[in-house]
Copies of this chain bind each other. A is one copy, B any other.
């Protein structure tokens, strides 16, 4: 039994891992407590329900993706190079997960979104907020590329949504094939969608 003071953190960590592997419904509170080495009473002290733990898990994923989204939206380098690097980073992320556990686990936000959108309005709303942040970051980089004349004028918001859809669908196929190299064509496809040549990223 670990220290009580970090019990909440351990529960969020266990929830992040187990729900990424197996989804929301398949993971029970008892199992979460066991993995976190926390008593059931403590679980309900920190989280009134499993939904509340899932909200904390989603927040954790959102925090983890913040750095990559900040670099995409306003980091160093020309905008289309940042977009290209972002798509390559997505592929690398799923390759890393695959190499560490032998499985493509998919996007934790997309996984929960498909499983829970019709079940739990609170989860749907929080997941949508995370996707809204992705879309806003993509929109910013597209706007900058248009402003610089690197890209022909386009509906940046709509195109950002399409890029997110393509990325999430590609991750789905990678998960279903258990092959992260499905994402090897994502950069090319994203640049086809925006009608530009993909820059070579070092």
Does A105 sit within 8 A of B, measured CB to CB?
yes
Segment among A33-41, A83-91, A169-177 that sits at the interface with chain B: A169-177
Assembly CA distance A172 to B173 (angstroms)? 13
Contact across chains for B26 and A119 when beta carbons are under 8 A apart: yes
Find out whether the CB atom of A173 lies under 8 angstroms from the CB atom of B168.
yes
Q: Is A195 an interface residue (CB 8 A)?
A: yes
Q: Chain A: interface secondary structure? A: helix
Residues of B within 8 A of A195 (CB): 192
Check B119 against A22 for contact (C-beta < 8 Å): yes
Cβ-based interface call for A5 (8 A) = no
The residues of B that contact A185 with a CB separation of less than 8 Å are 158, 161-162
Interface size class of A (residues with CB under 8 A): 35 or more
Does A178 touch B at the CB level, under 8 Å?
A: yes
The chain A residues found within 8 Å of chain B, CB to CB, are 21-23, 25-26, 103-106, 110-111, 113-115, 117-119, 124, 127-128, 131, 158, 161-162, 164-170, 172-173, 175-178, 182, 185, 189, 192-193, 195
16 other A-B residue contacts (CB within 8 Å) besides A165-B173, A168-B168: A22-B118, A23-B119, A104-B117, A105-B118, A106-B114, A114-B176, A117-B176, A128-B176, A131-B173, A162-B170, A162-B185, A162-B189, A165-B189, A166-B169, A192-B192, A192-B195
